[in-house]
């Protein structure tokens, strides 16, 4: 009987600690989300690492994204993607090609416009490790997708506790692929051109780009 009581006590203590950690993590993410929402626009320069040891994949590149509301301009792997609030324009200079398509209806898709807010829904939260990165305190929160059918096993979101900005995202897939996004520069409320999120179709037609509409 005594052993049963001890086991039950341990289980209840663990459950209580987990619940506290979950609430603590959610509170921090709410704070990060509210701060992101308070800015008129955000510019992020980042490093992107993709690794899968079993498949022999090890890629590293850089990119940047400018966000304003649900609009964005995304530069990555030599291509540019613009979302003006209605259409997505993907410009690939190497192929002299432009693809124009409607915004994806997949609410689970990780789009540039969601990269700083994706954690708000669809995950269970757990308080994780605290790291010191060149004097910056980076608190990690573990995100586990609620949808068991997703290809994502877990995500670790590193938050700079001084600024409450996202510093790092480490995503682990069920197939063993690990994707790491590290923020090099995070700027807010910049002066943006009024045409930054406007696609000039005539310009690309004049340059003989092939324009594909999906």
Lowest model confidence (mean pLDDT) among 11-20, 70-79, 167-176? 11-20
Please give the model's pTM, rounded to 2 decimal places.
0.84
Distance, CA of 125 to CA of 139 (rounded, Å): 13
Show Cβ contacts of residue 171 under 8 Å, excluding neighbours closer than 6 positions: 152, 154, 155, 156, 178, 179, 180, 181
**How many other CB atoms sit within 10 Å of the CB of residue 152?**
19
**How many other CB atoms sit within 10 Å of the CB of residue 20?**
11
- At residue 25, the pLDDT reads 94
Query: Does residue 14 surpass a pLDDT of 70?
Result: no
**In total, how many domains does the chain have?**
1
Any domain includes 213: no
Any domain includes 93: no
Which position has the token pair 């409450």?
Answer: 164
Any domain includes 210: no
Lowest model confidence (mean pLDDT) among 67-71, 92-96, 106-110, 137-141? 106-110
Distance, CA of 30 to CA of 45 (rounded, Å): 23
Query: Does residue 64 surpass a pLDDT of 80?
Result: yes
* CATH number of the domain residue 35 falls in: 2.50.20.10
122-139 residues labelled b (16+ CB within 10 A) or e (exposed): ebebbbbeeeeeeeeebb
- At residue 21, the pLDDT reads 60
Residue 172, beta-bridge partner list: 154, 178
Any domain includes 115: no
- At residue 12, the pLDDT reads 38
Any domain includes 191: yes
Any domain includes 108: no
Distance, CA of 162 to CA of 166 (rounded, Å): 11
Any domain includes 28: yes
Tell me the pLDDT band of 63, cut-offs 50, 70 and 90. very high
What count of Cα atoms within 13 Å lies in the side-chain half-sphere of residue 178? Answer: 11
The residue-averaged pLDDT of 30-49 equals 95
Any domain includes 31: yes
Owning domain of residue 17: 1-69+122-203
């Amino acid at each position: 009987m005594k052993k049963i009581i001890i086991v039950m006590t341990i289980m209840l203590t663990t459950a209580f600690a987990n619940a506290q950690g979950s609430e603590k993590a959610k509170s921090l993410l709410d704070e990060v989300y509210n701060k992101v929402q308070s800015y008129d626009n955000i510019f992020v320069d980042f490093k992107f690492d993709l690794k899968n040891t079993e498949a022999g994949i090890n890629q590293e590149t850089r990119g940047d994204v400018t966000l304003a509301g649900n609009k964005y301009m995304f530069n990555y792997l030599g291509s540019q993607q613009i979302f003006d609030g209605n259409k997505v324009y993907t410009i690939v200079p190497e192929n002299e090609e432009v693809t124009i398509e409607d915004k994806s209806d997949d609410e689970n898709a990780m789009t540039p416009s969601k990269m700083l807010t994706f954690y708000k829904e669809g995950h269970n939260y757990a308080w994780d490790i605290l790291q010191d990165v060149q004097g910056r305190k980076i608190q990690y929160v573990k995100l586990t997708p609620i949808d068991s059918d997703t290809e994502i096993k877990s995500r670790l979101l590193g938050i700079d506790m001084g600024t409450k900005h996202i510093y790092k995202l480490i995503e682990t897939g069920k197939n063993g692929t690990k994707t790491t996004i590290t923020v090099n520069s995070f700027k807010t409320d910049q002066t943006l051109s009024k045409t930054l999120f406007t696609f000039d179709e005539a310009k690309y037609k004049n340059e003989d780009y092939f324009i594909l509409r999906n």
